[in-house]
Amino acid sequence: MKLRSATVALLFAFVALAGCTQHFGWHQKLTVTVQTPMGEVSGASVTAVEVDGFDGLLPDGGGVESRLTGEAVVVEIAPGRYLFVLLTGALGWADAAYGLGGPGTVFEENMRSVEAQRGKPPVPLPPKAWPLMVTFTDIADPKTVALVDPDDLSAPFGPGVRLKAVTLAVTEEPVTEGKVEAVLGWVNDLKKYRTDPDNPFTNTLPAEIGYLMSR
């Protein structure tokens, strides 16, 4: 599955007929740190972003297409109790973290500004850009997914648990693979949860499940 953001969708229907003139890409590492009564725990995931800029067929025409590869952040809060930080908004994390994309900015300048952050220390991801966070009341049952309020981690995880930091870095590290699957053994075998196993459009699982991975 490829996640696509409406804000970076093709700007014109005919743009597919034009050639790709600019290609940018980077790996971004999202790290989530949680304070617990037993001390700090953290999890991280590296995702890959690819961005193509297209020439249009009319003056000032054109568009942008983006793709994401990777998986959610997994944080083990306590033995058998996990926080999953999903991929919602992942195509815009770099813009938010580095203050890009404001009025009057230029696509190529934004992309090169992100790439220039490669190897630099992590920076906070603003709360407005935080992705959805979920947990499972029964880790073996995808239907038990539940949204988590980042400002109230004590509700699902108990007293003394709070979110301490969410940071982003542009990195050379490889894309994270296998961490979600190691905890959620069912994540690649969702057919059994469909009313018609051969028809993905009848998948009755909560929408959040779709943001655990993007391949």
* Band of pLDDT at residue 23, cut at 50, 70 and 90: confident
| Residue boundaries of the structural domains of the chain | 6-214
Predicted pLDDT of residue 103: 56
Checking DSSP bridges between strand 62-71 and strand 39-55, what pairing results, if any?
Answer: antiparallel
* Band of pLDDT at residue 200, cut at 50, 70 and 90: low
Predicted pLDDT of residue 183: 97
C-alpha–C-alpha distance, residues 88 and 53, integer Å? 22
Predicted pLDDT of residue 192: 75
- The residue assigned the tokens 């033995």 is 79
pLDDT in tens, 110-148: 888 999 999 999 999 999 999 999 999 999 989 899 999
Does the pTM surpass 0.75? The reply is yes
As a whole number, the mean pLDDT across the chain is: 85
C-alpha–C-alpha distance, residues 172 and 46, integer Å? 9
